[in-house]
């Protein structure tokens, strides 16, 4: 059985007032192309379908278009769970009647973990659909006291394993922060924490009995301990911390028990996300922009030490999709920026200002600035 594993679509995502619906629509066209080339037997979408619990109508229409294409044009069994960005009730609406079209949506956690069984030449493959659920919700559903995500997940696994056929091929689809070591996992700025008090981490050892684990939540494609436990990553770069991360989907081939092959198919965005660093005049110079796609989403890290008049408009004339600018100060000092150096009581105001200026800009105070500072000091003393 060939599975296409994806997740973290975040349909309706807006970054710095830029809607990414056009970019997402472009990616879905690539997804269709991959489906036509790879010919999967089913598609698994591991949560965070929308970017927020109440998505805009344009996002709902786009998802409707995508799911209609998957289920009617390609006739693919499509298995979906909710993530921490989704509204489980809204995502689940109509899920029972949609199953007639091989569209399986599980938004809410229940005592009976949803199992979908598909068949191929080797027999049955069981898909367990486990949506994101906060420990408080799990505690209420199972009427047991739960302290954190790991304990909640452990309880769910114990219930699931009560009717678990270890001889069959079993796939878990879940949206959780499953790790070997939290420090080894690569997160990004666009991932919302799933913990409010208590740990959000779940021990990977709880899922080792499955033949494949399709994970959602982390936006970088990566494995967890074993090759068959994987985050597909998001379909687009959703923060500038993801600039260097290639996005894609996972193609999983499961043959007989224990025989599994995995590969990635890369997705190419309509617009890249780039960070440009330098002085304003450098960034608007042809020597900089002639080597890049100026329609990319840009963050400009400006290293100018002088005041700039409306740098955003200046940059936008060259880079129409610039999202953000920030001033960057290079500091060579390792001491506290709020503590004056030794002997400051015996130093003049000019000497103290020179030290402050160098610490804040990594540059020495030139003669013109020194003269200007002295003039300001003299004016102040005259006013007194």
How far CA 348 is from CA of 120, 342, 377, in Å, comes to: 83, 13, 11
Asked if residue 87 has pLDDT above 90, the reply is: no
Alpha helices in 130-248 (DSSP H): 135-142, 149-160
CA 105 to CA 88: how far, in whole Å?
10
- How many Cβ atoms from other residues are within 10 Å of residue 289's Cβ? 16
- Whole-angstrom distance, CA of residue 340 vs CA of residue 347: 11
Does residue 334 lie within any of the structural domains? no
* Domain, as residue range, for 297: 273-327
Going from the C-alpha of 233 to that of each of 214, 246, 295, the distances in angstroms are 10, 9, 24
- CA 132 – CA 194 distance, rounded (Å): 9
Residue 210 lies in a domain: yes
Residue pLDDT, tens place only, 258-288? 999 999 999 999 999 999 999 999 999 999 9
* 165 and 56 part of one domain: yes
Q: Is the pLDDT of residue 339 over 70?
A: no
| Distance, C-alpha 254 to centroid of its chain | 27
Task: Provide the whole-model pTM.
Answer: 0.82
Please report the pLDDT score of residue 182 as a whole number: 63
Report pLDDT for 373: 82
Rounded CA-CA distance 291/182 in Å is: 38
Identify the domain boundary among 267, 291, 311. 267
CATH number of the domain enclosing 18: 3.60.21.10
Residues 173, 143 share a domain: yes
Q: What is the mean pLDDT of the segment spanning 164-171?
A: 94
Q: Do 312 and 189 belong together in one domain?
A: no
Confidence class for position 163, pLDDT limits 50, 70, 90: confident
Domain co-membership, 235 together with 360: no
Residues 280 and 359 in one domain: no
pLDDT of residue 185: 53
What does the pLDDT look like over 26-81, one tens digit per residue? 999 999 999 999 999 999 999 999 999 999 999 999 999 999 999 999 999 999 99
pLDDT over 50 at 334, yes or no: no
Q: Is residue 379 part of a domain?
A: yes
Regarding whether 129 and 10 lie in a shared domain, the answer is yes
Mean of the per-residue pLDDT values for the chain?
88
Beta bridge partner(s), residue 2 = 253
Q: How far apart are CA 239 and CA 208, in angstroms?
A: 31
Boundary of a domain, candidates 267, 286, 319: 267
Least confident of 97-106, 186-195, 257-266, 361-370: 186-195
Judgement on whether residues 233 and 372 belong to the same structural domain of the protein: no
H/E segment holding residue 370 = helix 367-383
How many structural domains does the chain have? 3
pLDDT in tens, 341-359: 556 667 888 888 888 777 6
Q: What order of strands is seen across the sheet that includes strand 2-6? A: 103-106, 78-81, 42-46, 2-6, 247-254, 260-267
Choosing from 267, 299, 319, the residue where a domain stops is 267
């Amino acid at each position: 059985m060939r599975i296409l594993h994806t997740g973290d679509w975040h349909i309706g995502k807006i970054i710095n007032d830029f809607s990414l619906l056009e970019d997402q629509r472009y990616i879905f066209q690539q997804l269709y192309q991959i489906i036509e080339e790879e010919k999967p037997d089913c598609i698994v979408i591991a949560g965070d379908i929308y970017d927020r619990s109440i998505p805009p109508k344009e996002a709902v229409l786009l998802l409707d278009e995508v799911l209609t294409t998957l289920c009617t044009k390609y006739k693919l069994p499509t298995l979906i769970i909710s993530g921490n960005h989704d509204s489980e009730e809204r995502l689940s609406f109509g899920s029972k009647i949609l199953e007639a079209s091989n569209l399986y949506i599980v938004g809410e956690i229940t005592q009976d973990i949803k199992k979908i069984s598909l068949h191929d030449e080797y027999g049955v493959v069981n898909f367990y659909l486990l949506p994101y659920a906060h420990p408080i919700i799990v505690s209420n559903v199972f009427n047991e006291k739960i302290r954190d995500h790991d304990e909640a997940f452990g309880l769910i696994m114990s219930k699931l394993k009560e009717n678990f056929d270890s001889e069959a091929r079993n796939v878990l689809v879940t949206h959780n922060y499953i790790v070997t070591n939290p420090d080894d996992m690569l997160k990004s700025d666009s991932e919302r924490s799933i913990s409010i008090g208590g740990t959000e981490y779940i021990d990977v050892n709880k899922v080792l009995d499955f033949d494949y684990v399709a994970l959602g939540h982390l936006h970088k494609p990566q494995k967890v301990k074993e090759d068959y436990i994987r985050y597909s990553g998001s379909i687009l770069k959703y923060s500038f911390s993801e600039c260097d991360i290639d996005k894609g989907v996972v193609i999983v081939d499961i043959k007989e028990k224990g025989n599994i092959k995995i590969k990635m198919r890369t997705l190419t965005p309509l617009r890249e996300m780039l960070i440009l660093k330098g002085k304003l005049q450098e960034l608007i110079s042809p020597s900089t922009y002639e080597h890049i796609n100026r329609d990319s989403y840009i963050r400009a890290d400006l290293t100018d030490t002088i005041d700039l008049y409306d740098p955003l408009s200046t940059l936008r004339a060259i880079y129409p999709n610039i999202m953000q600018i920030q001033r960057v100060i290079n500091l060579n000092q390792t001491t506290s920026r709020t503590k004056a150096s030794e002997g400051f009581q015996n130093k003049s105001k000019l000497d103290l200002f020179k030290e402050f200026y160098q610490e804040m800009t990594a540059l020495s105070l030139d003669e013109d600035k020194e003269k200007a500072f002295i003039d300001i000091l003299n004016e102040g003393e005259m006013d007194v």
